[in-house]
C-alpha cells in the first residue's frame, strides 16, 4: 500500500527578509494549488494513502476541497497524529510520525529551514523538497504534478536505489560535548548575544561559517562560497569561512535582491568527518539561515561535517527509472509494444 507524506509549511516564504530585502511572498493559497497538483500526481502514480502535516491554515484540506468533481481522489488522505504548536517543531514531529507510519517518501514545501526540521525527524525516509521558502539551496523548483508522480514512483517501488535517492551532507552542532542541532547547508557564527529575529541577513555580524555546499547560482551564505571556491552537492568536502567586517573581498547575493560586499579573512576546505571549533563566544549560531543555538562565554562548541543528511529524490532520475519500469503504461494497454 504505497503511502506518501506531505509537509507544507504555512510560514515559509513570509519571514523578515520580505521587509529588509526583496524576497517573494509565497502565500498559502499558492501552496494549496501546488498541493492540489501533488495529490493528483500521487493518485496517478498509484499511491493509496497520503499523510499530511496539519497546520493552522489547512493547506491540504483546502487542496482536497478545491478539486473538481471529476478529479475526486479515491486514495486515503489523513493527518499525521501530532500536537499542533504552530511552530517549526511541527515539521519535525510530522516527519517522525510519517516515518513511523511507513510512508515511502515525504514531499516538503518550504525553504532550507523547513527541510532542516524535517531532516531531524525523517531519518532514512526519502525527501522530495519543493521550494517555497526564501534562501532555497536545499529544495528545488519542481512542478507539483511532477513532484507527485516522482514521489509516487519512489513510494510504489518503481524507482529507487543510489541512482534516484541521493545522500546529502549535514552539519552536526555540538555544545559542551552534546549534539544539539543540525544544518543542511550552513552553520554561521554571529557576534550577536541574543537570538532575537530568527532570520539572518546582515553581514556585519558574521564571524565564522561552516558550509556543506555553495555555488555561484545559490543565494545566502552558500553564495559566498560559490564566489570564492565552489563546493558541489556531491563533493566529499565542505568549506570553512572566517569573516572580517573591515574588509570587502567578494560580492555575493546574501538575500533576495541584496548583493553586498563581504569581508573574508580566510577560507579553507573541510573534509568529511572534520570538526571546526567555534572560536567567537558569546555568540549565536544560525543554522540554514535561522538563529538557533546560543553560546555563552564559557560554553564549548564545534561543528562536524558528515554525509549523513537525508536521502533526496532526484526527480529526473526517478521518473526515468519509473518509465523504464512501465509505471506510466495504462492498464487497458498491457500489450502495448515499444514502437
Among residues 58, 80, 301, 277, the alpha carbon closest in space to that of 176 is found at 301
- According to the model, what pLDDT value does residue 337 have? 43
Residue 286 has pLDDT above 60, yes or no: yes
Contacts of 260 (CB under 8 A, 6+ apart): 203, 251, 252, 254
- pTM of the predicted structure, to 2 decimals: 0.91
Phi-psi region of 332 (alpha: psi -120 to 50; beta: other; left: phi over 0): alpha
Grid cell digits, residue 118: 524535517
User: What is the residue-averaged pLDDT of the chain?
Assistant: 90
Task: For each of the domains in the chain, give its residue range(s) and CATH number, in order of start.
Answer: 3-167+310-333 (3.40.50), 170-306 (2.60.200)
Asked whether 75 and 48 are in contact (CB, 8 A), the reply is: yes
Residue 291 has pLDDT above 60, yes or no: yes
Q: Residue 132 and residue 49: Cα distance in Å, rounded? A: 24
Confidence band, pLDDT 50/70/90 cuts, at residue 338: very low
Grid cell digits, residue 122: 525523517
Confidence band, pLDDT 50/70/90 cuts, at residue 331: low
Average pLDDT over residues 98-121: 96
Residue found under cell 498559502:
28
- How many CB atoms neighbour CB 323 within 10 A? 14
Residue 254 has pLDDT above 60, yes or no: yes
DSSP state of 214: B
- Tell me the DSSP string of 165-199: EE---EEEEEETTEEEEEESSEEEEES-SS--SSB
Q: Residue 135 and residue 22: Cα distance in Å, rounded? A: 12
Strands across the sheet with 264-271, in order? Answer: 264-271, 237-243, 206-211, 186-190, 283-287, 290-295
Asked whether 108 and 130 are in contact (CB, 8 A), the reply is: yes
Q: Residue 92 and residue 121: Cα distance in Å, rounded? A: 5
Phi-psi region of 280 (alpha: psi -120 to 50; beta: other; left: phi over 0): beta
pLDDT in tens, 111-159: 999 999 999 999 999 999 999 865 589 999 999 999 999 999 999 999 9
- According to the model, what pLDDT value does residue 222 have? 95
Residue 25 has pLDDT above 70, yes or no: no
Phi-psi region of 44 (alpha: psi -120 to 50; beta: other; left: phi over 0): alpha
Q: Determine whether 141 is exposed, middle or buried from the number of CB atoms within 10 Å of its CB (0-12, 13-18, 19+).
A: exposed
Amino acid at each position: 500500500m504505497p503511502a506518501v507524506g506531505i509537509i507544507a509549511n504555512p510560514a515559509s516564504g513570509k519571514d523578515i527578509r520580505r521587509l529588509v530585502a526583496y524576497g517573494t511572498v509565497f502565500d498559502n493559497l499558492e501552496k494549496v494549488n501546488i498541493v492540489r497538483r501533488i495529490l493528483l500526481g500521487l493518485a496517478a502514480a498509484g499511491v493509496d494513502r497520503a499523510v499530511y502535516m496539519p497546520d493552522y491554515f489547512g493547506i491540504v484540506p483546502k487542496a482536497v476541497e478545491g478539486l473538481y468533481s471529476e478529479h475526486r481522489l479515491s486514495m486515503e488522505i489523513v493527518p499525521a497524529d501530532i500536537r499542533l504548536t504552530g511552530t517549526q517543531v511541527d515539521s519535525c514531529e510530522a516527519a517522525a510520525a510519517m516515518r513511523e507510519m511507513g510512508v515511502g517518501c515525504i514531499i516538503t514545501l518550504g525553504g532550507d529551514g523547513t527541510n532542516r526540521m524535517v531532516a531531524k525527524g525523517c531519518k532514512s525516509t526519502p525527501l522530495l523538497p519543493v521550494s517555497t521558502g526564501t534562501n532555497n539551496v536545499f529544495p528545488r523548483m519542481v512542478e507539483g504534478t511532477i513532484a507527485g508522480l516522482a514521489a509516487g514512483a519512489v513510494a510504489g517501488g518503481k524507482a529507487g536505489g543510489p541512482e534516484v535517492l541521493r545522500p546529502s551532507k549535514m552539519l552536526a552542532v555540538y555544545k559542551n560535548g552534546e549534539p544539539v542541532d543540525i544544518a543542511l547547508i550552513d552553520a554561521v557564527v554571529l557576534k550577536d548575544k541574543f537570538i532575537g529575529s530568527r532570520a539572518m541577513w546582515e553581514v556585519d555580524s558574521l564571524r565564522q561559517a561552516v558550509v556543506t555546499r555553495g555555488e555561484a547560482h545559490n543565494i545566502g551564505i552558500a553564495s559566498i562560497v560559490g564566489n570564492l571556491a565552489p563546493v558541489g552537492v556531491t563533493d566529499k568536502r565542505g568549506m570553512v569561512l572566517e569573516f572580517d567586517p573591515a574588509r570587502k573581498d567578494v560580492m555575493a547575493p546574501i538575500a533576495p535582491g541584496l548583493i553586498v560586499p563581504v569581508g573574508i579573512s580566510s577560507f579553507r576546505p573541510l573534509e568529511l568527518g572534520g570538526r571546526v571549533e567555534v572560536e567567537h563566544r558569546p555568540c549565536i549560531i544560525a543554522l540554514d539561515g535561522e538563529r538557533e543555538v546560543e553560546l555563552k562565554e564559557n560554553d564549548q562548541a564545534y561543528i562536524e561535517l558528515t554525509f549523513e543528511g537525508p536521502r533526496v529524490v532526484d526527480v529526473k532520475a526517478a521518473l526515468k527509472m519509473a518509465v523504464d519500469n512501465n509505471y506510466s503504461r495504462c492498464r487497458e494497454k498491457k500489450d502495448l509494444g515499444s514502437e
